[in-house]
Amino acid sequence: MAYDKFNILTSTAVPLPIENVDTDQLIPARFLKATERVGFGDNLFRDWRYNPDNTPKKDFVLNDPTYSGKILVGGKNFGSGSSREHAAWSVYDYGFRCVVSSFFADIFRGNCLNIGVLPVQVSPEFSEKMFAAIFADPKTEIEVNLPNQTITLLATGEKETFEINSYKKNNMLNGFDDIDYLQSIKGEIEEFAENLPL
Amino acid sequence: MSKTLFDKVWDTHVVRKIEGGPDVLFIDRHLIHEVTSPVAFLGLKTRGIKVLYPNRTFATADHNTPTINQHLPVADPLSANQLHMLEENSNEYGISYWGLGHQKNGIVHVVGPEYGITQPGATIVCGDSHTSTHGAFGAIAFGIGTSEVEMVLATQCIMQPKPKKMRINVNGKLGKGVTPKDVALFIISQLTTSGATGYFVEYAGDVFENMTMEGRMTVCNLSIEMGARGGMIAPDETTINYVKGREFSPKGEAWDKALAYYKTLKTDADAVFDKELTFDGATIEPMITYGTNPGMGMGISHDIPDAADVEGGAATYAKSLGYMGFSEGQSMIGKQVDFVFVGSCTNGRIEDFRAFTSLVKGKHKADNVTAWLVPGSHIVEAQIKEEGLLDILTDAGFELRQPGCSACLAMNDDKVPAGKYAVSTSNRNFEGRQGPGSRTMLASPLVAAAAAVTGVVTDPRTLIEELV
């Protein structure tokens, strides 16, 4: 599915300094019944965000008008658990284009890259600096520069480089997905399939 | 060059390596279910692409199905629509479809092996993280997202960087009442919920060699709960005896060819792993979790650790214990239990019901406990009846439900109410996993049985002398 190209993102950020944020918090299973990819942002962090009577929980960061932006900064081991791509869809649909953490769960990271959310893994020290900077000044801006693979706290100029493989980087920069690529080598795949052991 | 089991299977399936990028990996078998497939089919339609190899994909409905009255129409319109879409898409693209009411319907990771779809040395994916289950056969099996489901339907390939390799050795004799589930929960408690992220695990040692296929499936199933993409066990006689003669297993000449391939599937003696860990099986106790991720587990006789003694931040730890209503230093023995769930792709196989039944035999379900016993498939359901387990369970006050994922993720009506405690043989104790506000303690079928008959968390070793 097509997604917006990602180049340089400059935005304020939403801090969520909780570790092991799992996919059941990102999108609880009872909201996985849709057959189209629409409306998932409404249920992002549903049970942390809303009371059982659907009134907003005032102390949850997404309900706090102090914080906003296209960057979500989470704690260590972000996105653990299920393979549900709905978790990444919810993040994207809510309006985030980048998730920052000192450590990502594997499948969630891959799902993000496949749908146009950039997962940026930073050092634990830089993660601490980011949380401190955002809490000190919720309007502080962060630049995520994909071409240069850097993330910068613009107020102080503190920056760190992040890793992304060159294939995925090119996809994100151009809004390409893997199916475009795989379709282009279909002949090679069919030939390969002739000689498998099973 | 010396190779690990994982290298051998992976390298055999690499169509093309992209420099500075992922490998293009060919997928032998693809399993789909109603929840993570509809948007993938929608993608195919939008792009005007056909399914490249419909006979390599198998569809079953499991996540979102009722576990009672399956002969009646599904009441929830959203669930009914999702099930209908799976049937429609499968029919349109020529994919085998095992819907509700079909004899082969059941939990995708239970029926796949039962019908021989799961093969040693195969690459197997499904839009479900517990696809790691199939690694028990020496397959590379892992969960994928919906974009990847679409890739597999369209091209039978996905694009993945090759993970690092870890070997986990467990040797020694397991103690009384210690099951494969306990071995897995023990390993996860040692590694934490993210300790194997970025790795593919091979389980080795006599503890796994002595396990049945059902036990190995339970262990490999839980690999994802320590962050590993998957886990695998080298195929041996136990594996081959299980696979031989099943409906989709190779036959005749194809079987001889497959058998020759299976026999190559072991790690070379001098192959190197990026990480290797060894544990003594004799030190493992029946396990139970006390927190909100599967890494927060301990031997059932232990006390809940202090924040200072666990990895991770104190705030997250306090939030987790607060959610559970537990405190540091408490014993789990005697804790309140409202629900007991036996089932799921982790513990919904015949051995699990044998273990549960062996402990409740001659006893009675505690009045304060609601018990949901949900077989993983119709084959398991039939075995429970044929082996006489159902009669024992009925005498003890238990009922058997119909196959499905059920309360493991509570997409259907099998939801644990807010604030209530469940001892569950499933795989995740995340906040709200078994229903909004539910509190889950993960454990083996034996620990579940002990809770079911006493009404509180109980060490199963205190209840019977000789356990199976």
Q: Which residue of B has its CA nearest to A78?
A: B194
Identical topology for domains B5-160+234-261 and B289-462:
yes
Select the residue of A33, A104, A110 nearest B79 (Cβ to Cβ).
A33
Nearest neighbour of B430 by CB, restricted to A25, A105, A114: A25
Closest residue, chain B, to A48 (C-alpha): B431
Chain A residues near residue B42 by CB distance under 8 angstroms: 35-37
Query: Under DSSP, is residue B25 helix (H, G, I), strand (E, B) or coil?
Result: strand
Q: Is A115 exposed, middle or buried (0-12, 13-18, 19+ CB in 10 A)?
A: buried
Burial class (CB in 10 A: 0-12, 13-18, 19+), B343: buried
Which one of A25, A83, A181 has the shortest CB-CB distance to B143?
A83
3-state secondary structure string across chain A? CCCCCCCEEEECEEEECCCCCEHHHHCCHHHCCCCCCCCHHHHCCHHHHECCCCCECCCCHHHCCCCCCCEEEECCCECECCCCCHHHHHHHHHCCCEEEECCECHHHHHHHHHHCCEEEECCHHHHHHHHHHHHHCCCCCEEEECCCCEEEECCCCEEEECCCCHHHHHHHHHCCCHHHHHHHCHHHHHHHHCCCCC
The question of ipTM being above 0.90 is answered as yes
Say yes or no for a CB contact (<8 Å) between A183 and B155: yes
Cβ separation A88–B145 shorter than 8 A = yes
Q: Which residues in A lie closer than 8 A to residue B418 (C-beta atoms)? A: 52
CB under 8 Å to B466, separation ≥6 — which residues?
A: none
Beta carbons of B26 and A189 less than 8 Å apart: yes
Residues of chain B short of pLDDT 50, as ranges, are: 467-468
Residue of B404, B406, B408, B403 whose CA lies nearest to B424: B408
- Taking the C-alpha atoms of residue A88 and residue A93, their distance in angstroms, rounded to an integer, is 8
How far apart CA B402 and CA B24 sit, in angstroms, is 39
Query: Each residue of B329-367: pLDDT tens digit?
Result: 999 999 999 999 999 999 999 999 999 999 999 999 999
Sheet architecture: strand order including A142-145: A8-11, A142-145, A150-153, A158-161
Chain B residues with beta carbon closer than 8 angstroms to that of A183? 49, 154-155
Q: Which residue of B has its CA nearest to A180?
A: B151
Q: Say how far apart CA A5 and CA A169 lie, in whole Å.
A: 11
- Rounded distance between C-alpha atoms, residue B135 and residue B179, angstroms: 18
Residues of A in contact with B18 (CB under 8 A): 167
CB contact under 8 A, A18 and B319: yes
Helix A166-174 × helix A106-115 angle, to 10°? 40
Which chain B residues touch A178 with a CB distance below 8 Å? 147-148, 151, 158-159
In total, the C-beta contacts within 8 angstroms joining chain A to chain B are 212
* Amino acid residing at B89: N
Q: Which residue of A has its CA nearest to B79?
A: A33
**What's the token pair of residue B47?**
């792009």
Q: B289-462 — its CATH code?
A: 3.30.499.10
Could you say which of B46, B157, B193 has the minimum Cβ distance to residue A20? B193
What residues of chain A lie within 8 A of the CB of B148, using their CB?
110, 114, 178
| Nearest CA distance, A75 vs chain B (angstrom) | 9
What pLDDT, on a 0 to 100 scale, did the predictor assign at position B244? 98
Residue B12 burial by Cβ neighbours in a 10 Å radius (0-12, 13-18, 19+)? buried
Q: Smallest Cβ distance to A115: which of B122, B147, B430?
A: B147
Q: How many CB atoms lie within 10 A of CB B403?
A: 26
* Predicted pLDDT of residue B374: 98
Instruction: Say whether A165 and B20 touch across the interface (CB within 8 A).
Output: yes
The hierarchical CATH code for the domain A8-193 is: 3.20.19.10
Give me the residue from A17, A20, A185 closest to B16, CB to CB. Answer: A185
Side-chain-side CA neighbours of residue A142 (13 Å): 31
The CATH classification number of B5-160+234-261 equals 3.30.499.10
For B160-190, the pLDDT digits (tens) are 999 999 999 999 999 999 999 999 999 999 9
What ranges do the domains of chain A cover?
A: 8-193
Whether residues B315 and A18 touch (CB distance < 8 A) is answered with yes
B237: which residues sit within 8 A by CB, 6+ positions away? none
Q: What is the pLDDT along chain A (198 residues), one digit of tens a residue?
A: 668 899 999 999 999 999 999 999 999 999 999 999 999 999 999 999 999 999 999 999 999 999 999 999 999 999 999 999 999 999 999 999 999 999 999 999 999 999 999 999 999 999 999 999 999 999 999 999 999 999 999 999 999 999 999 999 999 999 999 999 999 999 999 999 999 988
Domain ranges across chain B: 5-160+234-261, 289-462
